[in-house]
Structure 1
Amino acid sequence: MDVQPDRFAAAADGARIRYRQEGRGPVVVFTHGLGSHLEAWEQTVATFRDRYTVLTWDVRGFGDSARRADTMAPETWAADLTAVLDEVGADDAVIGGISMGGVVSQRFALDFPERTRALILVSTSSEVNERAAAGWNARADVVERDGLAQALAPTGPALSYGKEYRERHTDEIAEATLLTIERNDAACYAAACRAVSDIDYTADLATITCPTLILQGLEDALTPPGGSVIMSRRIPGSRLAMLENCGHAIPTERPDEFHAEVEAFLADVA
């Protein structure tokens, strides 16, 4: 696909937030996960840009957006997204995200309901239990002490992909893991781990009234299916789609099914 020029929006504190805008039509935002960047959505952008204005962006601390470890928080990330929408002149949008991006999307819908036309939550959760929180904080400790390679190389693939995909795509997974290590700032990565370790939005989900699609891989070891079930029960009228033989990285592991689910949802709400 053609590479679009990078653009930057100015956040409330002056931080530069990188984004790309492609296509025409209703605005749909896709937010990447922890340690990733806007390029992760290239296949999704190519799928939808002929019918929608697709916005992808680098969450603060990642990619080419400002790297300020002391400002990493879901509330800040959600506010940063308003700056991107303001920059492109969008009053509202369909807000989507995977993993940490799903946390950002929930926070955005809670803080800016008037700007949330609909919600797409992929491989994410509204709360982190004590065991998971300990895992996130332990990962942050390893990153701060030993660096990203020590934190990601041993367990990253097992957590991020389902068994079938891991067995068939070992080279691609190794390349993606190396890219994550090379492109990330250790301090920002660790700060993001700590930021997502104590989220608890479950009690507030009933206030989300916009149409919501929830996508979950049944083999997801990073954000297990129970979290999506909780969200689907708390968000009124939400749709839940469970994908068999699929792990955490749904758009990578099952792109055709992912795009079909999103396409059907957008046809109803965008």
Structure 2
Amino acid sequence: MTHAMAPDGTRIAYQLHGHGTPLVLLAGQANNHHWWDGIRTDFHPARSTLTLDYRGTGDSDKPDIPYSTELFAQDVIAVLDELGIDRADVYGTSMGGRVAQQLAARHPDRVEALVLGCTSPGGPHSVERGNDVRRALAQPRPGAARQALRELMYTPRWLASHPGPHHTLGDPGMPAHARRHHLAAGNRHDAWDILPDIGAPTLVVHGTDDLLNPTANAHLLADRIPGARLHLIPDARHAYFEEFRTEAGPLVLDFLTTARKPS
């Protein structure tokens, strides 16, 4: 297992596959790099893919200290530094999109082009999920909350033909303290004031039927980030990138290729 060292001494595991211009893939909250297992090869004809295990997940260290999306972004920088990558394209989904916002706004020299998927700006300006969704995810009956999450991620038709395992439902090996810190990091995220500082070409992607992270957040991001493009995928829920991979993957690659063309 290959690791980079964060400034505070935390070891961050990372995985680099494929050949060509690197594309950094950032996973959702309380998930490790396996979030991307089902689709990362879709990018390999054109790109190499770089993933990491957030602190608290996978093979990274799991310090019992406060986490934040800004801290996760610093961990991404540590991985890029370890590999000698000056600038990279970044594709973040869900909480990974929040980390990507911090990365692009606070480290603009390191991000060539940016894709934000199924994410939000956080803070008081964001649109929160409904109380019915909160209740579904807080069910005490064993397995009920996990099934609710599965149904928020994927459509019933897709679940009927893809029984799993699903790698987007959380890292099963996380200790309890790391889960708490990940939840707190997501809840504290508020990038509203720094979104206008993002100078990288940006694509915002969201499913029209996403209730876990309401679709209205995509419009907020696209309006707040200068020059951002918005693409909504009809009928898609939170894990649009996997279920609707035949649309989402080419969309992202086409955008990144266009963004890199000389003006």
- The interval holding the TM-score normalised by the smaller chain is 0.7 to 0.9
Residue 34 of structure 2 corresponds to residue 44 of structure 1: no
Question: Is the partner of 2:205 in helix, strand or coil?
Answer: strand
Change in 2 beyond 3 A, CA 1:151/1:118: farther
Partner Cα separation in structure 1 for residue 34 and residue 64 of structure 2: 22
Partner deviation per Cα, 1:6-28 (whole Å, 9 max, x = no partner): 31111111111111112232221
Q: Answer 1 or 2: which has greater helix percent.
A: 1
Residue 101 of structure 2 corresponds to residue 106 of structure 1: yes
Partner Cα separation in structure 1 for residue 89 and residue 145 of structure 2: 31
> Which structure carries more relative contact order (alpha carbon 8 Å, separation 6+)?
2
CA drift of 1:154 comes to: 5.0
The CA RMSD over aligned residues, in Å, is 2.8
When normalised by structure 1's length, the TM-score is: 0.85
Q: Superposition pairs for residues 105-254 of structure 1, below 5 Å?
A: 105-129=100-124, 132=128, 152-169=145-162, 171-172=163-164, 175-176=165-166, 180=170, 182-254=172-244
When normalised by structure 2's length, the TM-score is: 0.87
CA drift of 1:181 comes to: 6.2
- Across the two proteins, how many residue pairs are aligned to each other? 256
CA drift of 1:91 comes to: 0.5
Identical aligned residues as a percent: 31
Partner deviation per Cα, 1:69-115 (whole Å, 9 max, x = no partner): 41311111000001100111101111111101001000111110111
Q: After alignment, is 204-213 or 75-84 more displaced? A: 204-213
Residue 88 of structure 2 corresponds to residue 93 of structure 1: yes
CA drift of 1:150 comes to: 6.5
Query: Which of residues 62, 65, 76 is equivalent to 2:57?
Result: 62
* 2:32–2:171 contact (8 Å) kept in structure 1: no
**Structure 2 letter corresponding to 1:157:** R
**Structure 2 letter corresponding to 1:47:** D
CA drift of 1:64 comes to: 1.4
Change in 2 beyond 3 A, CA 1:151/1:32: farther
Partner deviation per Cα, 1:228-268 (whole Å, 9 max, x = no partner): 00000111111111001110001221111111111111211
Partner deviation per Cα, 1:20-78 (whole Å, 9 max, x = no partner): 11223222100111122112223433122232231111111111111124131111100
